[in-house]
Structure 1
């Protein structure tokens, strides 16, 4: 029984660490939508799976490794949510694959999409004619966001996590200065105060981190 005790202890600690990470860093781990969530799951699973059967790594060492990994992930997550450049570095940038009915061949191929893949993604959203598409953006998680000609409401936010979505600004023909002024007119100090901002019927609707 003493042989299996360290294994059971490590397994229990690993399970607790997994539960803690899911609860602290959000349920996104259960359905990963970005690179950080994917890497977190892979590495944590690898650490737990490889270490529990190793006699050379003690329970204490295993616990320290889990603590260090959790702190690293939390640090990267914090930086990603508060800095657009770190977010772009970790998650990558969305790619515009269709602009005003014309396919950007270079962006499409660099994203690993063939013509068949692109048309399949369009058909899955009920779009059968490229000329109907005002803009199509391949998101970091591989999903295709399509904006059709004549649509006034954006399908993704103009502000998210205190950061400006420059692609949306480009689509609606406005700039960062225009959006910042709107945010200040609604009584906020800046974009950093906004959790999510939507562009609906030509108006900007803001949801702040803290209710006014």
Structure 2
């Protein structure tokens, strides 16, 4: 019974200690936290969890561990507020993945993002074709911000009172120098068609292509690999 009582007291203290620290450190939406803040939250919860369920650790150690960790987080928050130079180190900084409609391959490599991950991030912003993008910025919290090219910016049809047109889904046919034959066949094309397209675009080898997609109303869009 004594153990249950101690556990109850420790849980209540740990709960309110975390609540108070969260209030003191400020509110951040879960989808806006930086990797550092995410790890800090995990560690803070782990400290309380381990302390609560360890019989050899009393309430004082729980409060000490939580307060010390919170103090470190608070110091870092103060540093990033007062000294701009520390923000990129503790919080990270945005990275421009697409600049003026062109993919920055060095940034993709630096952020360890492949073409599939980039496409997934863009689709989360309702962008299904890379050709629509003027700028794409990877934020420090892992989300992506997109600025479309003017001709793809909505609502163009409504502004101009144009009739609705059919919408076509872009289909990837080449990824990282590899042909997706199933997708090509799904589009109704074959190897002969692909060779003709490559010849038209003055491309001698598939390996030269980083990404290529087909869209029924706009044709083939090719992005070559960086020469860097």
Residues in 1 aligned to 2:46 and 2:29: alpha-carbon distance in whole angstroms: 15
- Map of 1:148 onto structure 2: 148
- Map of 2:85 onto structure 1: 85
Residues in 1 aligned to 2:67 and 2:29: alpha-carbon distance in whole angstroms: 17
The Cα of 1:3 is off from its aligned counterpart by: 2.1
Q: Which moved more, 1:107-116 or 1:41-50?
A: 107-116
SS at the partner of 1:6?
Answer: helix
Change (3 A) 1:30 1:139: closer
SS at the partner of 2:46?
Answer: helix
SS at the partner of 2:96?
Answer: strand
- TM-score by length of structure 2 reads 0.59
Unaligned runs of 5+ in 1: 152-212
The Cα of 1:110 is off from its aligned counterpart by: 2.3
SS at the partner of 2:50?
Answer: helix
Change (3 A) 1:73 1:50: same
Residues in 2 aligned to 1:19 and 1:138: alpha-carbon distance in whole angstroms: 31
Q: Is the 8 A contact 1:29 1:37 kept in 2?
A: no
The Cα of 1:128 is off from its aligned counterpart by: 4.2
Within-5 A mapping of 1:13-92: 13-28=13-28, 30-31=30-31, 33-92=33-92
Residues in 1 aligned to 2:122 and 2:68: alpha-carbon distance in whole angstroms: 43
The Cα of 1:146 is off from its aligned counterpart by: 1.3
State the 4+ residue runs in structure 1 displaced beyond 6 angstroms. none
The Cα of 1:143 is off from its aligned counterpart by: 1.1
Change (3 A) 1:32 1:129: closer
